[in-house]
Amino acid sequence: MIAYIIRRLLQMIPLLFFVSLVVYTLVALQPGDPLEGLIFQNPHLTQEDIEALKRAYGLDQPIYVRYFKWLGRALQGDFGISRTYAIPAVEFIFEQRLPMTLLLSGTAFLLAVLVSIPIGIFSAVRQYSIADYVITFLAFVGYSTPVFWLGIMLLLLFAVWLPELLGLDQPIFPPGGFVTPGVDPDTVGLWNYLKDRLWHLALPAFTLSVVSMAGWTRFMRASMLEVLSQDYVRTARAKGLSERVVIYKHALRNALIPIVTLMGLAVPGLFSGAVLTETIFSWPGMGRALYDALVEKDYNVAMAALVFLALLTALFNLIADIMYAVVDPRIRYS
């Protein structure tokens, strides 16, 4: 197992080089460069001015030269300065955006896990009951609902329609953002600040969790049903064990194996953020950061974010494979 892990870790090195090269080339080959906005604002820039600006932004070099310059600095931990925010790209991603993404995605993930597993079990155990049909129906609806539509609908419902209906002059949930302007621990105390942050987190986290919740509920149900039809479950029941013990001690453990793998593979997605949800709820996360960086050709931020995400994806794929081996004794790596 250790040998397997070490081999996988070593394989990541050439993989990351390859990914960084491909990503850098694709980003650089996109139409346009950071200068075009400037040139557009100034129709009377002369050829000399444009050449000088190209030199100033390091855009006078061919792509492969720029890549190796970037690689050289990146290997020393210097991912450059964000052209649009004027702070180091790494600081921008790790201090400003990543924590916000982890908060939102992590909460959505937790919510989805806490809801989908018990509901999936419930649905499987009461197969073909009215409750099962209702849950299945809601799961399909949740799975098919576009996240951007759901987000806007929830915003309208809780920030406009319900307050109007109830005659309130404040929204029930805020229309986006992650904190009320002016609210911080110094002005209102830590407890009120945390309450405000939680209040802002509720709708976006719920919106983001709906699709996973729906999918995992169905998956849990299917997995549970498969396990419940196994011989050893019938044996456990025949032995006279209570239904509770049969389900939670014997069936659930095995039913969880595929779910755990699925959730493990979803973890890298926690870091990449959710650009649609973040845009609608004005949540400053990695999704929007990456999208904005690509559109505005902020190469340093785009490269730092993409390389980081490639590393995380590779790492968590490995962790998911290891977890699979841990929970399922039949799996062993050599």
Partner 1 sequence: MKNRLRQIGILAAVVWMGLAFAGPRDNSLVVGASQEPRVLGDFWAFVTSQAIASEIENYLWAGLEFIDQDGNDQPYLATEVPTVENGRVKVTELGEGKKRIEIHYTLRDDIYWSDGHPITSKDVAFFYEVGKFPGAPVQDPSYWSRLGLKVLDDKNFVVSFEPAYFYDLVGSAIGLAPEHVMRAEWEKTKAEIKKLDPKKDAAKITELFQGFVSKFATPKALNSGSLVYSGPFVLKRWTPNSALEMARNDKFFITPPGGADKYVQRVVYRFIQDTNALLVAILGGSIDATSSVSLTFDQARAPQLTRRAKGRFDIWMVPGVIWEHAEVNKFKNVQTVSDLMLYKKETRQALAYAMNREGLVKAFFDGLQPVAHTWVHFQDPNYNPNVKKYPYDPEKAKKILAELGWKDSDGDGYLDRTVDGRKVTFEIEYVTTAGNRIRERTQVFFQNDLKKVGIKVKINNAPSSVVFSNDFFSKAYDGRWKGLFEFAWLFGIVDDASVFTCKDYITGDVYVPTPENNYSGVNFGWCNDEFDKLRAQAMVEFDAAKRKKLWQRMQEIWAEELPAIPYYWRSSPYVMKKGLVNYIASTFHGSFGYPSTQAWLIGWEQNGAKKIYDQADYATPVIAR
Look at residue 223 and give its three-state secondary structure: helix
* Binding positions for partner 1, 73-92, rule CB under 8 A: 81, 83-87
| Residue 173 CB, nearest approach to partner 1 (Å) | 8
**Residue 36 in the binding site for partner 1 (CB under 8 A):** yes
Binder among 7, 73, 126, 195 for partner 1 (CB under 8 A): 195
Q: Could you tell me if 302 and 293 are in contact, meaning their C-beta atoms sit under 8 angstroms apart? A: yes
Distance of CA 214 to the CA centre of its chain: 17
Fill in the DSSP letter of residue 230: S
**Residue 1 in the binding site for partner 1 (CB under 8 A):** no
Binder among 130, 169, 231, 329 for partner 1 (CB under 8 A): 169
Q: Could you tell me if 2 and 21 are in contact, meaning their C-beta atoms sit under 8 angstroms apart? A: no
Total residues at the site for partner 1 (CB under 8 A)? Answer: 70
Enumerate the H helices of the chain as residue ranges. 2-29, 35-41, 47-56, 63-75, 89-91, 98-125, 130-144, 147-156, 162-166, 185-188, 190-228, 231-238, 243-245, 252-272, 275-280, 286-295, 299-327
List the structure tokens of 174. Answer: 């805020």
Q: Could you tell me if 308 and 93 are in contact, meaning their C-beta atoms sit under 8 angstroms apart? A: yes
* Binding positions for partner 1, 139-168, rule CB under 8 A: 152, 155-156, 159-160, 162-163, 166-168
Give the Cα separation of 289 and 305 in Å (integer).
Answer: 9
> Which of 205, 214 has the CB closer to partner 1?
205
Segment contacting partner 1 by CB under 8 A, of 121-129, 224-232, 274-282, 310-318: 274-282
By CB atoms closer than 10 A (0-12, 13-18, 19+), residue 66 is middle
Residue 275: what residue type?
V
**Residue 39 in the binding site for partner 1 (CB under 8 A):** yes
**Residue 45 in the binding site for partner 1 (CB under 8 A):** yes
Segment contacting partner 1 by CB under 8 A, of 39-47, 230-238, 240-248, 313-321: 39-47
| Residue 2 CB, nearest approach to partner 1 (Å) | 43
Binder among 5, 8, 15, 58 for partner 1 (CB under 8 A): 58
Binder among 76, 144, 170, 334 for partner 1 (CB under 8 A): 170
**Phi/psi at 81 (5° precision):** -100, 140
Segment contacting partner 1 by CB under 8 A, of 1-9, 105-113, 195-203, 260-268: 195-203
**Footprint of partner 1 on this chain (CB under 8 A)?**
30-33, 36, 38-47, 49-50, 52-53, 55-58, 81, 83-87, 96, 100, 152, 155-156, 159-160, 162-163, 166-172, 174-184, 187-188, 192-193, 195-196, 199, 279-282, 284, 288, 295
